[in-house]
């Protein structure tokens, strides 16, 4: 192929691509290895480059390394092994625990005024997973209040156990999540004077998704265990005193909570009906 009309650098490039395989390799020193480095491979054929390195001129050490390789198969320069740039962020990001672009906890308002569900994202790595079920900054941004932790409890229930409806007569807030098994959680607005008095919301909680619920003061709470040894962890804003709590019948016809068919096999019978609690003026009041 005539080379007239081609620039000088194009002629040199064409000559290298055409005749590189025909050029003889220089003699190796006695005892020298044919391969300079196992990671030095041809950029086109990905075959190990067997030519001896020659020093780079005018390139600082650390940019491309001290040597370059000319592959006899394609006459291209194969540089040193490529290294990934260092990761940015804190130690959690470098360990792979934090996913960029996704908040660790997301808040979702419920039908009962003042109640929220917080959905946590699981962060997986080679060691397992990490789940954040409570974040003060996310909680304060969603509810507009701070949560003062006074006590933490864990309740383990057998299959079919129905607990509640428990409501505090004084200001008492709860933050709960299911850590083992699965439960069906009910939130009931029992605050007298509330526009949503008597309304309720059902939320399915399990140990896989780790959805958490915030129960504001004056809202009743009941749980139905859907698996044996289901565990629920509670964060309480006040110390638990049994004399300040009231239990309403979870199967009360006036509330008409839509539990599953034949919901419970274990039900505590010492509870009041909604009408009895209203007549005796035992329910808490509503405060915006």
Tens-level pLDDT at each residue, the chain (288 residues): 555 555 555 554 444 444 444 455 555 555 544 444 444 555 555 555 555 545 545 544 444 444 444 555 554 554 554 555 555 545 544 444 444 456 678 899 999 999 999 998 877 888 888 888 898 999 999 999 999 999 999 999 999 899 989 998 878 899 999 999 999 999 999 999 999 999 999 999 998 888 999 999 999 999 999 999 999 999 999 998 888 889 999 989 999 999 988 666 666 667 899 999 999 999 998 876
Q: 3-state class of 182 per DSSP?
A: strand
Active-site annotation holds for 286:
no
pLDDT of residue 34: 45
| H-type alpha helices, the chain | 8-19, 91-94, 136-143, 274-279
pLDDT at 130: 83
Instruction: Classify 102-279 by CATH class.
Output: mainly beta
Buried b (16+ CB within 10 A) or exposed e, 260-272: eeebbeeeeeebb
pLDDT digits (tens, 9 = 90+) for 234-259: 999 999 888 888 999 998 999 999 99
Which residue in 36, 175, 234, 286 is the catalytic one? Answer: 234
Domain residues of the chain, as ranges?
1-19+36-84, 102-279
**pTM for the whole thing?**
0.63
Selection from 120, 146, 151 nearest residue 133 by Cα: 120
Query: pLDDT at position 208, please?
Result: 85
Q: Pseudo-torsion of CA 211, 216, 221, 225, nearest 10°?
A: 20
Identify the pLDDT of residue 121. 80
In the beta sheet, which residues pair with residue 253? none
Give the containing element (helix H, strand E) for 124.
Answer: strand 122-125
Burial class (CB within 10 angstroms; exposed 0-12, middle 13-18, buried 19+) of 282: middle
**Under 8 Å between Cβ of 148 and 236:** no
> Residues 152, 231: contact at Cβ < 8 Å?
no
């Amino acid at each position: 192929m005539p080379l007239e009309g081609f620039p000088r650098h194009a002629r040199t490039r064409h000559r290298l691509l055409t005749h590189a395989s025909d050029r003889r390799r220089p003699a190796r020193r006695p005892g020298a290895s044919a391969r300079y480095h196992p990671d030095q491979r041809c950029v086109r054929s990905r075959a190990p480059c067997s030519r001896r390195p020659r020093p780079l001129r005018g390139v600082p050490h650390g940019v491309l390394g001290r040597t370059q390789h000319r592959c006899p198969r394609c006459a291209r320069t194969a540089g040193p092994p490529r290294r990934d740039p260092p990761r940015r962020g804190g130690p959690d990001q470098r360990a792979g625990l934090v996913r960029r672009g996704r908040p660790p906890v997301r808040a979702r308002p419920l039908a009962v005024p003042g109640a929220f569900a917080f959905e946590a994202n699981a962060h997986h790595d080679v060691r397992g997973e990490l789940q954040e079920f409570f974040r003060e900054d996310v909680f304060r941004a969603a509810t507009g209040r701070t949560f003062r932790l006074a006590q933490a409890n864990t309740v383990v229930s057998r299959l079919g156990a129905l607990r509640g409806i428990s409501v505090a007569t004084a200001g008492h807030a709860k933050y709960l999540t299911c850590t083992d098994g699965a439960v069906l959680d009910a939130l009931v607005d029992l605050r007298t004077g509330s526009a949503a008095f008597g309304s309720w919301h059902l939320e399915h909680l399990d140990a896989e998704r780790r959805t958490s619920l915030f129960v504001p003061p004056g809202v009743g709470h009941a749980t139905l265990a859907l698996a044996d040894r289901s565990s629920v962890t509670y964060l309480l804003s006040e110390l638990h005193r049994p004399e300040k709590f009231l239990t309403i019948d979870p199967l009360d016809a006036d509330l008409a909570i839509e539990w599953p068919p034949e919901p419970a096999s274990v039900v505590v019978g010492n509870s009041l009906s909604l009408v009895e609690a209203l007549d005796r003026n035992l329910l808490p009041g509503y405060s915006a």
